[in-house]
Amino acid sequence: MIFDCIRNHFKRSDSKNKFQISDYLAVTSTRASLITGAVFFAVLTAFTLIDIREFTTINNKNKWFILAMAFVIPVAIGAAVAFRFRFKQKTVKTVSFILLCITLPLISIMMTESLNAVSLFRMSFSAFLLNYILILLFYAVIFALSGSIRVSVLAVNTILYLMALTNCYLMYFRGSPFLPMDLTGASTGMNVASSYRFRILYSVVLGTYLFILTVVIGIKTNSPKMQKVQRIVVRSSIGVLFIILTYLFYFTSFITDVTKISDVDVQWNQAQTYKQNGFAFSFFFNTKYLLVITPDGYDQNEIVDLVREGNETDTGKETKTPNIICIMNESLSDLGVLGDFTTNIDYMPFIRSLTENTVRGNLYVPVVGGGTSNTEFEFLTGNSVAFLPSGSNAYMLYVNNPMNSLVSTLEAQGYSSLAMHPYYASGWNRVSVYNNFGFNKFLSIEDMIDSAVLDEYANNGNPDYFQDLLDKYYPGNSNMLIRQHISDEYNYKLIIEDFENRDKSKPYFIFDITMQNHNEYVSGGRNFDECVTLTGEDEDYPQTNKYLSLVKASDDAFKELIEYFKNIDEPTVICMFGDHQPAIESDFIASVMGVGDLNSLTVEQAQKRHITPFIIWANYDIEEQNIERLSSNYLSSLLLDIAGTEMTDYNKYLLNLSKTIPVIDTVGYIDSSGVCHKFSEKNHYTELINTYKKIQYNNLFDNENKKDEVFYLFGFKITNDDNGGEVTQ
């Protein structure tokens, strides 16, 4: 009958047709709506066919069901565009409206979880119910504010779609989900995103189709007619419900008690949390960590004693001031810590060979695949990201005022201070942060390459074109780039040039963040020698091959840097470490680790993903050590101890704590026996962890009662009057 309606409709000259299905329901359409619906169906179906390989090659046992949905949903969209359903009787209208309100959140969940690459059939009922109630509440709140179902549907689903789409690509590129704190780093994300090669994933196609379906339904849905009193009662009731639930969520443990979701378990594996508990609820759950909570039992009057208790006094120890070069190497890691695999050549032969006058070991960092500045924050300050709100970025949120750090400790001893990063200065709020740390100078890529060249490259985006520009404007510097980033080799050349032109009346300190190995690992370029390949693997992992080849280039460049400083007479210490492991093929990582799914790792397995190498080398005699495990919040204190400089009481406290709890990171902590623990455990380490939390809280957040005497040397303090020096953008 409906097909007769369509056929008759096109025969008629008038633009509207109506088909009475029953006494309760009529279906109407126009010639324009039928044509538009057919176009929607044809275009979306064609797009599925063009991208069909993306569906047929996915590693998912439900891939044929997913492919079928990619054809079925365009049919539903076409029908929703072509026809309008009208209900005749008031009771039927009411029932149909209630059914629509019940169904819409379900479609919204299907949309967000499609983008989250999770099937609804894999979600637990409780996880589904949590997401359903939350999205239904969002619909209700927008309706209460606007009085329009149409506005509510369009607003909620547009926001959910954009957020879930962001989560999809963040998981694809960096292996970690979209967290509330990522909103504060949006500008950095835009800078970095320009270097990625985006592809249209099957999850994006399916999620986008479902989003289009919600938009069409929203546009065609009329709000129920209500009397003024009814409107007031409904809107007021929704408002009261929202206030009650908000209070219970943020200021009580009611939600976590009812849902049995542990705050600590949520934090230690966010990727797993998003898969298990759904995108909407997981993102919203993380907003509660935006609040910084005062540690239990905190008393500012105890801080000095807590810091100094157990610290050794320096009796007769000679203080030294060697030159100190610190390098945080982008994505540098030895993937061998995850498990066994073979390559055609060794990808870090020089770094492995360094033993003389070298302290080396495994560094446990707070992030995986991205979030560089959090590792940087831990190294420079000695504070732990583990005690900050989950998913937060310290540089974007907490370094808002002058702050003690490795910089202030060395400047108090007469050191010069330079920060260098061969990428855009605006990333991770570094200009402001480095001012607050008190760096004398900050050099970024804008100081290394003319802005006109950078702008021309940005408008083109091709790595080979960038190389062409540099060959033209900077002849004789063919080693400036690897792919589209400044190479470690050229980066170290700049360090050497700055060292040779330094103020020799002061000991030298530089903190350098490299860029060569930054994600993504899809594209190459004529300036990139992909010399390392995996051997003995059943599958092809091109991203891993590119990554390991980049590590080999880093190894070669580091060798040149060490060879240079071997021939320098002035005592010099070089500390290099990786900021995090790379975001490469998850299938390769799972295979090497011997697991089927990276979202279900044990605490011990998750800790392995946080390991990068660190090396402290000197061009004079120091005691060689191989340190099995150390987290990045301790590394600068260890560096100062090895260099023989003066240390703050806080540095001494951290060194002392590292003997008992050598690793504290966002997964948990590891004791001196190598046993992994979650923060939720209650044991004889609990009080030590709580003490560290109290000290860090005083350092970061209790500005009025901060005990400067344990965080600064000799009364030297970074202030608004003397911080910042010369900062270059």
Range(s) of the domain holding residue 226? 2-290
Tell whether 240 and 306 lie within a shared domain: no
Question: What pLDDT was estimated at residue 609?
Answer: 95
Instruction: Look at residue 474 and tell me if it is in a domain.
Output: no
With 80 as the cut, is the pLDDT of residue 290 above it? no
Q: Dump pLDDT digits (tens) for 342-397.
A: 999 999 999 999 999 999 999 999 999 888 899 999 999 999 999 988 777 888 78
Q: Per residue in 489-543, pLDDT tens?
A: 999 999 999 999 999 999 999 999 999 999 888 877 888 999 999 998 888 999 9
Tokens describing residue 173: 């590129």
Same domain, 690 and 546: yes
Beta-sheet strand order (sheet of 676-677): 663-664, 669-670, 676-677
Of 86 and 687, the one with more pLDDT:
687
For the chain, what is the domain count? Answer: 2
pLDDT digits (tens, 9 = 90+) for 90-130: 676 677 778 888 888 999 999 998 888 777 667 778 888 88
Write the DSSP string, 188-246. HHHHHHTT------HHHHHHHHHHHHHHHHHHTPPPPP--HHHHHHHHHHHHHHHHHHH
What mean pLDDT is predicted for residues 677-683? 92
CA dist 445 → 417, 478, 524 (Å): 18, 16, 21
pLDDT for the residue numbered 82? 83
Rounded percentage of the chain residues whose pLDDT exceeds 70: 87
Judge whether 336 lies within some domain.
yes
What pLDDT is recorded for position 14?
Answer: 45
Query: Looking at the structure, do residues 622 and 722 belong to the same domain, yes or no?
Result: yes
Q: Using CA atoms, how far apart are residues 558 and 278, in angstroms rounded to an integer?
A: 43
Confidence check: pLDDT of 726 > 50: no
Place of tokens 């959140």: 105
The neighbouring-strand residues paired with 513 are 328
pLDDT attached to residue 174: 62
Q: Which residue has the higher pLDDT, 574 or 120?
A: 574
Question: Which whole number is the average pLDDT over 331-340?
Answer: 96
Distances from the Cα of 578 to the Cα of 17, 134, 351, 366, 372, angstroms: 67, 39, 12, 11, 9
- The residue out of 256, 290, 324 marking a domain boundary is 290
The mean pLDDT value of the chain amounts to 86
Residue 399, classed as helix, strand or coil, is coil
d(CA 474, CA 571): 33
210 exposure class (CB count in 10 Å sphere: 0-12, 13-18, 19+): buried
Q: CA angle 171-177-179, nearest 5°? A: 150
Domain contains 471: no
267 shares its domain with 306:
no
Q: Are residues 286 and 305 in the same domain?
A: no
Q: What count of other Cβ atoms lies within 10 Å of the Cβ of residue 84?
A: 14
Contact in structure between 607 and 663 (CB atoms under 8 Å): yes
What's residue 259's pLDDT?
66
Question: Do 105 and 233 belong together in one domain?
Answer: yes
Do the Cβ atoms of 274 and 177 come closer than 8 Å? yes
Do 547 and 299 contact (CB within 8 A), yes or no?
no
Q: What CATH number does residue 385 fall under?
A: 3.40.720.10
* Calpha distance 89→396 (Å, rounded): 56
What sign for the dihedral angle of Cα 640, 494, 720, 424? negative
Q: Looking at the domain assignment, is residue 527 inside a domain?
A: no
- Percentages of the chain per state (helix, strand, coil), in multiples of 5: 55, 10, 35
**186 and 101 assigned to the same domain:** yes
In a domain, 248, yes or no: yes
Q: Is 533 helix (H, G, I), strand (E, B) or coil?
A: coil
Q: Are strands 441-444 and 481-482 parallel, antiparallel or unpaired?
A: unpaired
Token representation of residue 668: 């948990």
Q: Which residues pair with 363 in a beta bridge?
A: 612, 630
CA distances from 228 to 101, 151, 684 (A): 21, 19, 62
Residue 239: pLDDT above 50? yes
Q: 420 forms bridges with which residues in the sheet?
A: 443, 512
Phi, psi of 17 (to 5 degrees): -135, 150
Cα angle, residue 655 at apex, residues 651 and 657 outer, rounded to 5°? 115
284/373 same-domain check: no
Q: What is the pLDDT of residues 415-462, one digit of tens each?
A: 999 999 999 887 887 888 899 999 999 999 999 999 889 988 887 778
For range 246-274, the mean pLDDT? 66
Mean pLDDT, range 409-420, rounded to an integer: 96
Instruction: Give the mean pLDDT of 714-718.
Output: 83
- State whether the Cα torsion 171-174-175-176 is positive or negative: negative
Task: Please tell me whether residues 677 and 636 are part of one structural domain.
Answer: yes
Q: Where are the alpha helices (DSSP H) in 269-424?
A: 270-277, 279-286, 303-308, 349-353, 372-381, 394-397, 406-411
- Rounded Cα distance between 473 and 63, Å, is 50
C-alpha distances (whole Å) from 640 to each of 328, 382, 408 are 16, 12, 13
**DSSP-based three-state secondary structure for 578:** strand
pLDDT digits (tens, 9 = 90+) for 127-172: 888 899 899 999 989 988 888 888 999 999 999 999 999 888 877 7
Q: Which two tokens stand for residue 131?
A: 């997401």
Answer yes or no: is 669 within a domain. yes
d(CA 210, CA 44): 11
Residue 247, both tokens: 């209070």
Going 247 to 251 to 256 to 261, the CA torsion angle's sign is positive
Q: Which one of 263, 290, 317 terminates a domain?
A: 290
Q: How confident is the model at residue 550 (pLDDT cuts 50, 70, 90)?
A: very high
| pLDDT of 658 higher than 70 | yes
Same domain, 151 and 57: yes
Report yes or no: 28 and 16 within 8 Å, Cβ to Cβ: yes
∠ CA 437-439-441, rounded to 5°: 150
Q: Provide φ and ψ at 727, rounded to 5°.
A: -110, 125
Q: Could you tell me if 313 and 276 lie in one domain?
A: no
- pLDDT one-digit tens code per residue, 589-632: 999 999 988 877 899 999 999 999 999 999 999 999 999 999 99
CA angle, corner 632, sides to 629 and 633, nearest 5?
A: 115
Average pLDDT over residues 641-663: 97
Residues 6+ apart with CB under 8 A from 372: 328, 330, 428, 513, 579, 580
Amino acid 2: pLDDT: 46
Of residues 244 and 560, more confidently modeled: 560
3-state secondary structure of 608: helix
Rounded CA gap, 655 and 633, in Å? Answer: 10
DSSP string spanning 422-460?
SS-TTGGGHHHHHHHHT-SEEEEHHHHS-HHHHHHHHHH
User: Which residues are paired to 485 by β-bridges?
Assistant: 482
- Which residues does residue 361 pair with via DSSP β-bridges, in sequence order? 614, 627
Q: Which two tokens stand for residue 318?
A: 């000679």
- 189 has pLDDT over 70: no
- pLDDT score at 523: 78
The pLDDT of residue 307 is above 80: yes
Is 80 exceeded by the pLDDT of residue 185? no
Q: Is residue 372 part of a domain?
A: yes
DSSP string of 376-396, one letter each residue: HHHHHH---GGGSPTT--HHH
- 709-714 mean pLDDT: 93
Query: How high is the pLDDT of residue 89?
Result: 67
Q: What are phi and psi of 25, to 5 degrees?
A: -135, 135
| Residues in the chain, total | 729
Q: How confident is the model at residue 261 (pLDDT cuts 50, 70, 90)?
A: low
In a domain, 15, yes or no: yes
Lowest mean pLDDT, pick from 122-126, 550-554, 658-662, 724-728: 724-728
Lowest mean pLDDT among 199-208, 265-274, 283-292: 265-274
* Residues 6+ away with beta carbon under 8 Å from 311: 649, 652, 653, 656
Q: What is the pLDDT of residue 649?
A: 96
Q: What's the number of CA atoms in the CB half-sphere (13 Å) around residue 62?
A: 13
Please say if the pLDDT value at position 711 is more than 80. yes
Is the pLDDT assigned to residue 27 strictly greater than 90?
no
- Which residue, 262, 290, 318, sits at the end of a domain? 290
Distance of CA 348 to the CA centre of its chain: 27
190 and 57 in contact (C-beta within 8 Å)? no
496 lies in the same domain as 558? yes
Among candidate residues 159, 395, 388, 192, the one with its CA nearest the CA of residue 279: 159
